[in-house]
């Protein structure tokens, strides 16, 4: 309607004023519906054409959208294991939590038993270490005993061999052979005692430390599993719709415990979906404006900070069926991130609120650079100027939205 009124000021209104006051024609006499159409048909057609052209220029160079929302991220509250809730640290269904604060605890009897078993294994290994050191001492004593017996047998053999050398009839050959066999046996005792000592030392140096390290690793794993029974907040924020109670069973795949909304979520930027025709116009740094339902009668100055290079409607996922382009019923939009131009611009706007947004093309820098001619500069000035119409429309929307919602819509 604004465009029609503006274009009529250039065509229909001057024609009417000329016929009414210059030619003296009167309404209802010379000026009737037929005469108006017949005499002003060129003006009316020109007005419609100008209106269509003006609307096209406005919506192309100054795109707008009603699909703008303060999206915010939510974090599901999930344990890493299945279990039954033993304790809840949040009173009510909502509450503020700090990063690392406990939210609820699962029954930990199984994990505590595993940790205690690992501690018992460590104590058992320490006791085995003491026993192995005692066995080393016993083996050393046995080695000394075997060496003494071996030396005694050697000395006795040498004595009898000397007597036999001097007087062969004084010592029986059989006795000398028995002593040789006894020496070999006692040497075997020395070797056995040395092997027992080596085995005990190997246990002290290798086997028992390895067993202790394994037990300590099992204890660490058990303590990690025990710590997982206490579910803590990964980020500072607010827990919402938390209805978990003692005795409930939670499952990380099927039944989350609630939702955690990070602190500051939805307070930074508005995500707006503009039509695909604005892909060549919307650029980072463009000035924009937005008005949100949760903060009526307020226009928020914004700036384009990011433009997504992909349209979500065209994404393809691997599957067993071929994709038919006809399945994309609704055309996708260009996702644009709008941030407040001034600090605190989104204060008072509830995260998740629906918004209207306009983006405005500005050619001021290009015109000021002197790289364009006078004609093109004039056209670019006109393009920038018609953005005022869209700004007026946005303010009318901001003014009428509460009335349409509360009065006319009955909400």
The whole domain housing 138 covers 109-229
270: domain CATH number? 2.40.30.170
pLDDT at 33: 65
Establish if 53 belongs to a structural domain: yes
In a shared domain, residues 290 and 146: no
Residues 243 and 97 in one domain: yes
Q: Provide the edge-to-edge strand list for the sheet that holds 230-232.
A: 230-232, 102-106, 83-88, 249-250
CA-based torsion, 278, 279, 282, 288: positive or negative: positive
Nearest CA to 104 out of 238, 293, 233, 272 is that of 233
| pLDDT, tens digit (0-9, with 9 covering 90-100), for 237-279 | 988 888 888 888 888 777 777 888 888 888 889 999 998 988 8
Residue 361 CB partners (closer than 8 Å, separation 6+): 61, 62, 281, 286, 383, 384, 387
Q: Do 250 and 376 sit in the same domain of this protein? A: no
For CA atoms 390, 394, 400, 401, the dihedral sign is positive
| Domain co-membership, 310 together with 205 | no
Q: Say yes or no: 95 and 202 in one domain.
A: no
What pLDDT shows up at residue 203? 80
Question: Residue 28: what pLDDT?
Answer: 63
- Looking up tokens 């706007």 gives 349
Mean pLDDT of the chain: 83
Q: Does residue 108 contact residue 89 with C-beta atoms inside 8 Å? A: no
Task: State the average pLDDT over residues 288-294.
Answer: 92
Asked if the structure places residue 322 within a domain, the reply is no
Q: Structure pTM?
A: 0.69
How does residue 339 score in pLDDT terms, banded at 50, 70 and 90? very high
Count the alpha carbons within 13 Å of 29 in the hemisphere toward its beta carbon. Answer: 6
Tell me what pLDDT residue 335 has. Answer: 93
From 178, 209, 229, give the residue that closes a domain: 229
CATH number at residue 87: 2.40.50.100
Residues written for the chain: 411
Q: Flag whether pLDDT at 183 surpasses 80.
A: no
Residue that is last in its domain, among 229, 254, 287:
229
Kindly tell me if the per-residue pLDDT of 411 is higher than 60. no
**Gap between the Cα atoms of 37 and 58, Å rounded:** 28
The Cα 13–Cα 7 span in angstroms is 9
Q: Kindly report which listed range (26-30, 180-184, 243-247, 304-308) carries the lowest average pLDDT score.
A: 26-30
pLDDT band at 6 (very low <50, low <70, confident <90, very high): low
Task: Specify whether 21 is located in the same domain as 132.
Answer: no
Three-class DSSP labels, the chain: CHHHHHHHCCCHHHHHHHHHHHCCCCECCCECHHHHHHHHHHHHHHHHHHHHHHHHHHHHHCCEEEEEECCCCCEEECCCCCEEEEEECCCCCCEEECCCCEEEEECCHHHHHHHHHHHHHHHHHHHHHHHHHHHHHHHHHHHHHHHHHHHHHHHHHHHHHHHHHHCCCCCCHHHHHHHHHHHHHHHHHHHHHHHHHHHHHHHHHHHHHHHHHHHHHHHHHHHHHHHHCEEECCCCEEEECCCCCCCCEEECCCECCEEEEECCCCCCCEEEEECHHHCCCCCCCCEEEEEECCEEEEEEEEEEEEECCCCHHHCCCCCCCCCCHHHCCCCCCEEEEEEECCCCCCCCCCCCCEEEEEEECCCHHHHHCCCCCHHHHHHHHHHHHCHHHHHHHHHHHHHHHHHHHHHHCCC
Domain membership flag for residue 323: no
- 95: Cβ–Cβ under 8 A, 6 or more apart, which residues? 238, 239, 242
Same domain for 365 and 278: yes
Residue 381 domain-assigned? yes
Residue 124 lies in a domain: yes
Provide the pLDDT confidence category of residue 5 given band limits of 50, 70 and 90: low
Using 50, 70 and 90 to split pLDDT, how confident is the model at 9? Answer: low
Q: Does residue 306 carry a pLDDT above 90? A: yes
Given this model, what pLDDT does residue 37 score?
65
Instruction: List, for residues 160-177, the tens digit of each pLDDT value.
Output: 777 767 777 666 777 767
Query: According to the model, what pLDDT value does residue 34 have?
Result: 65
Rg (CA), the chain: 47
Q: Which residues contact 138 (CB under 8 A, 6 or more apart)?
A: 196
- Distance between CA atoms of residues 283 and 61, nearest Å: 11
Q: What is the pLDDT of residues 194-226, one digit of tens each?
A: 888 788 788 878 888 888 888 889 889 988 888
Helix axis angle, 387-403 to 33-61, nearest 10° = 100
Q: Based on the structure, what is the number of domains in the chain?
A: 4
Same domain membership, residue 9 and residue 22: yes
Clarify whether residues 255 and 200 are in a common domain: no
Average pLDDT over residues 320-326: 78
26-51 per-position pLDDT tens digit = 776 666 666 666 667 777 777 788 88
Q: What values do phi and psi take at 353, rounded to 5?
A: -70, 145
Summarised one tens digit per residue, pLDDT across range 63-79 is: 999 999 999 888 888 88
6 lies in some domain? yes
Cβ 239 vs Cβ 256: under 8 Å = no
Band (410; pLDDT cuts 50, 70, 90): low
Give the C-alpha separation, 295 to 299, whole Å: 9
Q: What are phi and psi of 335, to 5 degrees?
A: -80, 125
Is residue 151 domain-shared with residue 49, that is, in the same domain?
no
Q: Is residue 218 in some structural domain?
A: yes
User: In terms of C-beta density within 10 A (0-12 exposed, 13-18 middle, 19 or more buried), how is residue 296 classed?
Assistant: middle
Instruction: Give the confidence band of 128 by pLDDT, cuts at 50, 70, 90.
Output: confident
* Shared-domain flag, residues 153 and 46: no
Instruction: Look at residue 225 and tell me if it is in a domain.
Output: yes
pLDDT of residue 189: 80
Looking at the fold, whether 284 and 397 belong to one and the same domain comes out as: yes
């Amino acid at each position: 309607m604004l465009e029609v009124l503006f274009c009529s000021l250039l065509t229909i209104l001057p024609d009417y004023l000329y016929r009414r006051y210059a030619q003296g024609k009167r309404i209802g006499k010379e000026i009737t519906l037929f005469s108006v159409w017949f005499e002003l048909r060129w003006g009316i057609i020109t007005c419609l054409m100008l209106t269509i052209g003006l609307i096209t220029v406005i919506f192309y160079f100054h795109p707008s959208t009603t699909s703008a929302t303060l999206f915010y991220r939510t974090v599901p509250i999930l344990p890493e294991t299945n279990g039954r809730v033993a304790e809840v640290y949040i009173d009510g269904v909502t509450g503020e939590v700090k990063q690392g604060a406990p939210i609820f605890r699962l029954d930990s009897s199984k994990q505590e038993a595993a940790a205690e078993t690992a501690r018992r294994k460590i104590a058992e290994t320490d006791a085995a270490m003491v026993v192995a050191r005692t066995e080393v001492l016993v083996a050393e004593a046995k080695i000394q005993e075997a060496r003494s017996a071996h030396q005694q047998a050697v000395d006795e053999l040498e004595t009898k061999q000397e007597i036999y050398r001097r007087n062969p009839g004084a010592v029986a050959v059989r006795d000398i052979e028995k002593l040789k066999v006894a020496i070999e046996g006692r040497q075997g005792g020395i070797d056995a005692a040395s092997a027992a000592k080596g085995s005990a030392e190997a246990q002290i140096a290798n086997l028992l430390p390895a067993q202790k390290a394994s037990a300590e690793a099992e204890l660490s794993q058990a303590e990690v599993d025990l710590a997982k029974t206490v579910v803590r907040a990964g980020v500072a924020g607010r827990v919402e719709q938390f209805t978990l109670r003692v005795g409930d069973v939670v499952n990380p795949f099927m039944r989350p415990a609630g939702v955690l909304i990070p602190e500051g979520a939805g307070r930074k930027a508005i995500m707006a979906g503009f039509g695909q025709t604005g892909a060549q116009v919307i650029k980072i740094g463009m000035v924009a404006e937005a008005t949100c339902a949760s903060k009526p009668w307020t226009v928020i100055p914004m700036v384009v900070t990011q433009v997504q290079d992909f349209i979500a409607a065209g994404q393809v996922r691997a599957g067993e069926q071929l994709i038919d382009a006809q399945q994309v019923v609704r055309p996708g939009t260009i996702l644009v991130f709008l941030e407040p131009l001034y600090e605190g611009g989104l204060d008072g706007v509830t995260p998740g609120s629906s918004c209207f947004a306009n983006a405005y093309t500005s050619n001021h820098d290009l015109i000021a650079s002197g790289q364009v001619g006078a004609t093109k500069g004039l056209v670019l000035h006109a393009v920038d100027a018609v953005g005022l119409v869209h700004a007026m429309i946005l303010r009318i929307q901001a003014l009428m939205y509460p009335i349409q919602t509360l009065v006319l819509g009955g909400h």
